[in-house]
A and B are shown apart, each in its own frame.
Chain A
Amino acid sequence: AQSVTQLDSQVPVFEEAPVELRCNYSSSVSVYLFWYVQYPNQGLQLLLKYLSGSTLVKGINGFEAEFNKSQTSFHLRKPSVHISDTAEYFCAAQRGTGGGYNKLIFGAGTRLAVHP
């Protein structure tokens, strides 16, 4: 069975500082990995995804993530955060072989709080 663990429930950071949000996954089959962001009272928005190929993936709003198969990790990074990045971030996994059918397994979420 797949599972996704987000190692930090909350991450406070000052504006313009770098940030890393950590995500580990477990799966007996190949997986696709995603990061979504949720702003207050809104749905989720896809930041970036890893399906195959280059292990460094770039997303919207200056975010990037690195897929590390040996460490089963998919950490999200941004070199310089803004106040507007304050939101909840979710790491998610989906079965990479047939039958995934848009069934995402989400982590518990990391609340990023950017302070001036």
Chain B
Amino acid sequence: KAGVTQTPRYLIKTRGQQVTLSCSPISGHRSVSWYQQTPGQGLQFLFEYFSETQRNKGNFPGRFSGRQFSNSRSEMNVSTLELGDSALYLCASSLEGGNTGELFFGEGSRLTVL
């Protein structure tokens, strides 16, 4: 069974640009969550989608957005990039949208903003 797939794995952008990251969850998983990982702030929750609906959102500015498609694939977008957006963005999927916390993580998309 294929795991969570994130693309691209690495990307470099400049300040002011925007970026779209993609996540394909494990087949059959309907919940997709996004996390930002930085050396300074650690792992922080961005948002969670279930059946194309955003159910929970972290404390990030509106420049960070996401969506989920009918096939459960998800994308997140960051507009007007800032240097501080440089991070590893992790996507995680789970079978149900409940509270078990058993998340399956992808390897992440490492974004560098110059």
Contact = CB atoms under 8 A, between A and B. Distances in A.
A108 B37 CA distance: 10
Give chain A's interface residue range (CB within 8 Å of chain B): 20 to 34
Given A101-B56, A102-B48, A103-B58, A43 B101 contact: no
A96 B100 CA distance: 9
B106 interface: yes
A107 B104 CA distance: 18
Contacts, number: 78
Contacts of B31: 101-102
B42 A44 contact: no
Interface stretch (A13-21, A63-71, A87-95): A87-95
A2 to B, nearest CB: 11
B106 A51 contact: no
A98 interface: yes
A34 to B, nearest CB: 5
Contact of B43 (A90, A96, A99): A90
Given A44-B105, A45-B105, A46-B103, A104 B90 contact: no
A92 B35 CA distance: 13
Nearest to B58: A103
Interface in B30-59: 31, 33, 35, 42-45, 48, 50, 55-56, 58
A46 B100 CA distance: 12
B99 A98 contact: yes
Contacts of B66: none
Interface of A: 32, 34, 36, 41-46, 49, 51, 90, 92, 94-109
